[in-house]
Chains A and B, each alone.
Chain A
């Protein structure tokens, strides 16, 4: 536990696909529904999962919610949102203890903000998770301050 989180509106695990979905409300300047999704990267696979995170916005054409992972909502609650998102990792690894989570920022701004928060809380993350990153055409152990293209997170085994 590294900080205060928002309660989840929904938490779903789909056994047939291995997917996990979480929704919650960002309650900063506005109320914005958010989605976190862990989806298998290989068809039918359970080893690597993409970690997706974005706003849910109403599509003006259909009147239904759609995912927007590009917009920076700047809702004034980035820390609480970040802690909420990170808190789902333990749920994910509770279901898929041997899997690896692939994380790549959808925008440079979001990546920069999250990287800063990861660095700030690195001592809380490092004891529980193996974090590696892709840089210069190879996978390397995470080093704070390194500009990785994407991250791979797995559960640290005792």
Chain B
């Protein structure tokens, strides 16, 4: 269960909100691979530890 901060009213400018929506849309369409470098490193580390082939 989350207790959501209620006194936080700051937001993004409408222009930036639009850009953020574009970014999220691209994520959902897999046009962006977030944290790819870290995920590749994780794959190597798990291979080294024998947890994955």
Chain A residues positioned under 8 Å from B3 (CB to CB): 1, 3-5
CA distance A95 to B8 in the complex (A): 29
B42, A17: Cβ atoms under 8 Å? no
Q: Is the CB of A134 within 8 A of B34?
A: no
- Contact status of A39 and B52, CB under 8 A, knowing A27-B10, A64-B23, A104-B41: no
Indicate if B49 sits at the interface (CB-CB under 8 A).
yes
Q: A25-B11, A42-B52, A58-B16 are in contact. Are A52 and B24 (CB under 8 A)?
A: no
Q: Is the CB of B4 within 8 A of A5?
A: yes
CB distance from B13 to the nearest CB of A (A): 9
A150 & B45 in contact (Cβ 8 Å cutoff): yes
Is B49 within 8 A of A134, CB to CB? yes
B-facing residues in A34-75 (Cβ within 8 Å): 35, 37, 39, 41-42, 45, 47-48, 50, 52, 54, 56, 58, 63-65, 67, 69
Give residues of chain A (69-85) contacting chain B, Cβ–Cβ below 8 Å. Answer: 69, 80
| Contact assessment for A64 and B42 in the assembled complex, using a CB-CB cutoff below 8 Å | no
Known interface pairs A35-B34, A64-B22. Does A104 touch B10 (Cβ–Cβ under 8 Å)?
no
Are A10 and B46 CB-contacts (below 8 A) given A27-B10, A39-B39, A64-B19? no
Inter-chain CA distance A35–B33, complex, in Å, is 12
**Chain A residues near B24 (CB-CB < 8 A):** 10, 12, 21, 23
Question: Can you identify 10 A-B contacts, CB atoms within 8 angstroms?
Answer: A3-B3, A10-B24, A12-B27, A16-B30, A21-B24, A25-B11, A25-B12, A41-B43, A42-B52, A65-B20
B contacts, CB < 8 Å to A:
1-5, 8, 10-12, 16, 19-20, 22-24, 27-28, 30, 32-35, 38-39, 41-43, 45-46, 49, 51-52
Q: What 9 A-B pairs are tightest by C-beta distance, nearest first?
A: A52-B35, A65-B23, A50-B39, A37-B34, A27-B8, A27-B10, A50-B42, A102-B42, A31-B10
